[in-house]
Structure 1
Amino acid sequence: MLSQLLVRDFRCFAEAKLALHPATTLLVGNNAQGKTSLLEALCVVLRLQSPRTSTRTDLIRFGTRSCLVEASLGDHQLRFAQSATTRRLAVDNVVCTRSPDYLQSSARVVWMDHSDMLLVRGGAEHRRRYLDFAAAQLNPGYLHALRHYERLLRSRNHLLKRDAVINWRQADAYAVALEEHGHFISQCRAQLAESLTPHVNTAHAALSGGHEIAQIQYQPGFDPNGLAQQLRDARADEERTRTTAAGIHRDDLQLLVNDRPASAFASEGQQRSLSLALKLAQVTTLTQATGSPPLLLIDDVFGELDHTRRRALLNALPQDTQKVITTTSVDWITGDFSPDGWQYHVDKAALGPLVPVGSRL
């Protein structure tokens, strides 16, 4: 369990230190006061990834040179520090030069927020990011392979755009390298989608009252017979578009409700239920794969749900999963759902005193 978080010069916080309850910790306050930044700090120190930015220097408080995030996780002390040019990691005061070494001592995370609706409504990049965040927590080599693939893809696309006459020999060499990493990533995504499918259906049934059937189907962005050959066959298209025509960067996850594409035929309520079900399925899949439940970070979700879906989601949240939740009010905490836990009021990047969950401030 995560027991403590310390941030210094992180986002809007000069410094903040908070204890985390084994069950539920609420961060309550108006918008733009720093609640989400504390959730982000937890994600960064545990997974070395932010759900809000890919630019690490965005994490540093304006006017300062570096930021620090420390967390107590079981018997381990985790430390993440970022300057304009350098990231420094440590576990129990021992410096880690490699991310995998650090992550071995960390924990899994599932992040839920209002933007999850983009999983259903948005482009394929949102669904690929959904798969990547979970797959990277299940496969130690996944993130390394994905970063290599992305660098190769940028280089190949630059080559396709650079000259009036494309150097196909060099482009084909890049294609072979893309195939090597892409095959591994595609396998991981396909296995993950297969594992998620029954849990998405179960979670969606719980959220919809059992009246609807949800399905997900992994759609690879290249021919399983070989990416390199497919790209050689697509030279005419690539010469016209000057971009790589196939690969895992074109993968997608088809989402269905009652056998119909959710983006086109599902109502807003059905889409919201499906997006929540996708995240709940991540929790179950990570728990079954690793033997321990992930930390559940929930950013201001309950205020956007109607009473029925809010109650269904609260009932669907795994009881044995540690949760940190941001919210603008505690009105949704009732006799039906009054969790054991602690609560902080967040105002202008400062924390109020710790009180029991549900306290009106």
Structure 2
Amino acid sequence: MQIKKLYLKNFRNYSEETVEFSDGLNVLYGANAAGKTNMLEAVYLTSIAKTPRTTKEKELVLEGEKYAVVKVLVENNFRSHKVEIIIDDKGKKRILVDSLPINRAGELIGVVAVVFFSPDEMKLVKESPDYRRRFLDISLSQQQKEYFNALVKYNKILKQRNNLLKSDYDDMDAMLDVYDVQLSDVGLVILDKRREFVNTLKTYALKTHKFLSDNGETLEVEYETELTKDNFLKLLKKNREKDKKLSFTTVGPHRDDLKLIVNGKDARKFASQGQQRSIALSLKFAELELYKIETGEKAVLLLDDVLSELDVKRRTQLLELSKEYQTILTCTEFDSYEKAVKFKIENGKIIKREY
């Protein structure tokens, strides 16, 4: 999969700009706040209809304008697609794929596949399990529509169950019996998909982490859950009174985690900043491999300001790993000898292209 062209109008600090990317390494360079990350954000938006930076999508519209437009032209092994997203100044979105409007974000999944890394992705390691579950959910949703549909259904049932727990409904237990069966049925689909994904992911994550650490460290990745096919429904019923007191559901895949072990120690507790970066990168490159295995396509790699914290050797290693994929990379300066198409950005404009 390759992004051939990106068009922006009134998006963040871009009044209007068009970029044609190469199929290899593309470097967006310039001073801080020039608009480099905004361009990556626009590409990411066309992938899952959300941005990694804000939940207030009206912020994406250039100040003083009524709307923003993001368009990408993408090619895969079989055909090309055009994705267009229009956002008004209230944050309302319209999405078109090949000029046809779509009503659900699920219809967009898989049209533009990306793997995104920024310094914030280090939260994957040290922050709450929410970040690691989000990594699993986005990765799997891009690869498998069955997973995305199951996740949407699960979250809908979970919300209904939680709303019931907060209510004064007279016959609550009878309704909880219904929701418990529904939640466990679709939850088991999510569990199976996650376990299968992690079981493959860990092999590639270990390989990448060894490469980045010069064989100095090992990385183990395990899916952490108390749930099984036999006990899910039983645990929901066992924890029912607790759930009533807390007014939310305490059992399910929405409570699970990824265990990350480096050289026998729990990285979620003990990883240094450098280790956190290497672990997060290892997970992202493993995600790229799994997307290729599952779909036969290569996702596009988006790297935001990743070089600034790496020494020369680590930069070289990272660029070596990225060679197999179309890569769009942001940085303040790019002094590598790697072959790349470079775009200098200033104040939301491309002022120089070097092919």
- Using the size of structure 1 for normalisation, the TM-score is 0.89
Let me know the Cα RMSD of the aligned residues.
2.2
Q: Is the deviation greater in 252-261 or in 63-72? A: 63-72
The C-alpha deviation readout for 1:167-217, integer Å capped at 9, x for no partner, is 222233222222222111111111110110110000000000012211100
Q: Is the deviation greater in 240-249 or in 302-311? A: 302-311
Residues 1:346 and 2:335 are matched in the alignment: no
Identify the residue that residue 37 of structure 2 maps to in structure 1.
36
1:234 is matched with which residue: 230, 239, 260?
239
Structure 1 counterpart of 2:294, one-letter code: A
CA distance in 1, matches of 2:340, 2:239: 57
Residues 1:198 and 2:197 are matched in the alignment: no
Q: Which residues of structure 1 form unaligned runs of 5+?
A: 357-361
Identify the residue that residue 8 of structure 1 maps to in structure 2.
9
- 8 Å contact kept, 1:160–1:166: no
CA pair 2-86 structure 1, distance change in 2 beyond 3 A: same
1:268 is matched with which residue: 268, 273, 277?
273
Identify the residue that residue 359 of structure 1 maps to in structure 2.
none
Question: In structure 2, the residue corresponding to 1:292 is in which secondary structure?
Answer: coil
How far apart are residue 264 of structure 1 and its match? 2.5
Question: In structure 2, the residue corresponding to 1:243 is in which secondary structure?
Answer: coil
- 8 Å contact kept, 2:58–2:92: no
CA pair 58-116 structure 1, distance change in 2 beyond 3 A: same
Identify the residue that residue 298 of structure 1 maps to in structure 2.
303
- 8 Å contact kept, 1:221–1:252: no
The C-alpha deviation readout for 1:59-118, integer Å capped at 9, x for no partner, is 3333333321111112332222233475333333233445444445x2321101101211
Number of aligned residue pairs: 349
- 8 Å contact kept, 1:11–1:60: yes
Question: In structure 1, the residue corresponding to 2:65 is in which secondary structure?
Answer: coil
- 8 Å contact kept, 1:221–1:250: no
How far apart are residue 27 of structure 1 and its match? 1.1
Question: In structure 2, the residue corresponding to 1:134 is in which secondary structure?
Answer: helix
CA distance in 2, matches of 1:162, 1:97: 31
- 8 Å contact kept, 2:48–2:105: no
2:176 is matched with which residue: 171, 179, 187?
171
Q: Is the deviation greater in 84-93 or in 27-36? A: 84-93
CA distance in 1, matches of 2:203, 2:301: 20
CA pair 12-152 structure 1, distance change in 2 beyond 3 A: farther
CA distance in 1, matches of 2:108, 2:247: 39
Q: Which residues of structure 2 form unaligned runs of 5+?
A: none
Residues 1:327 and 2:326 are matched in the alignment: no
Residues 1:87 and 2:93 are matched in the alignment: yes
**Residues 1-361 of structure 1 correspond to what in structure 2 (within 5 A)?**
1-74=2-75, 75-83=80-88, 84=90, 86-103=92-109, 106-163=111-168, 167-220=172-225, 222-317=227-322, 319-331=323-335, 333=336, 338-356=337-355
